[in-house]
């Protein structure tokens, strides 16, 4: 992580750096797979006839590969982190892609808060309470 302007001298140990790299890879893999799933659903609903059938076959193979890779990599990442609830969600085929995406996002936020501290920015409730009593 590089936060030169915010916190000069922030050091991240090798274990955390490796976990952050795995989380970034999982987020990218699950995110691309989810976007492809959503686009496929939209195209299936809309009457798109200009695409050749070979495109749909290749798209289906990419989706299947992305889903399988997300399932396997999500299980690896959550098993390595010993996050048993997320591991269970990543093992279920229907929830593996959204669970991988959610886990990577949430865990990265937890690591960031642990490294930078909770006082980095005020919470929403604190921002509201600082206002001039109007709301």
On whether residue 107 sits in a domain, the answer given is: yes
On whether residue 1 sits in a domain, the answer given is: no
On whether residue 24 sits in a domain, the answer given is: yes
On whether residue 35 sits in a domain, the answer given is: yes
CA pair distance 64, 37, nearest whole angstrom: 10
Q: What digits encode the pLDDT tens for the residues 76-106?
A: 999 998 989 999 999 999 999 999 999 999 9
Rg (CA), the chain: 20
Q: What digits encode the pLDDT tens for the residues 46-81?
A: 877 777 888 888 988 999 999 999 999 999 999 998
Look at residue 55 in the predicted model and tell me its pLDDT. Answer: 84
Higher pLDDT, 87 or 121: 87
Decide: pTM greater than 0.85.
no
Look at residue 63 in the predicted model and tell me its pLDDT. Answer: 92
CA pair distance 79, 77, nearest whole angstrom: 5
Count up the domains in the chain and report the number: 1
| Helix or strand run (H / E) with residue 99 | helix 96-116
- Torsion, CA 77, CA 29, CA 72, CA 68, rounded to 10: 170
% residues pLDDT > 90 (the chain):
47
On whether residue 26 sits in a domain, the answer given is: yes
Structural domain of residue 75, as residue ranges?
14-118
């Amino acid at each position: 992580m590089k936060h030169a302007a915010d916190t000069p001298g922030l050091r991240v140990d090798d274990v955390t750096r490796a976990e952050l790299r795995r989380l970034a890879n999982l987020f990218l893999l699950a995110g691309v797979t989810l976007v492809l799933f959503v686009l496929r659903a939209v195209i299936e609903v809309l009457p798109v006839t200009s695409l050749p059938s070979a495109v749909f076959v290749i798209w289906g193979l990419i989706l299947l590969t992305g889903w399988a890779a997300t399932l396997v990599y999500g299980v690896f990442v959550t098993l390595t982190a010993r996050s048993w609830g997320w591991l269970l969600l990543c093992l279920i085929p229907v929830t593996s892609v959204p669970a991988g995406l959610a886990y990577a996002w949430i865990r990265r936020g937890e690591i960031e808060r642990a490294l930078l501290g909770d006082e980095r920015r005020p919470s929403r409730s604190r921002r509201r309470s600082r206002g001039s009593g109007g709301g």
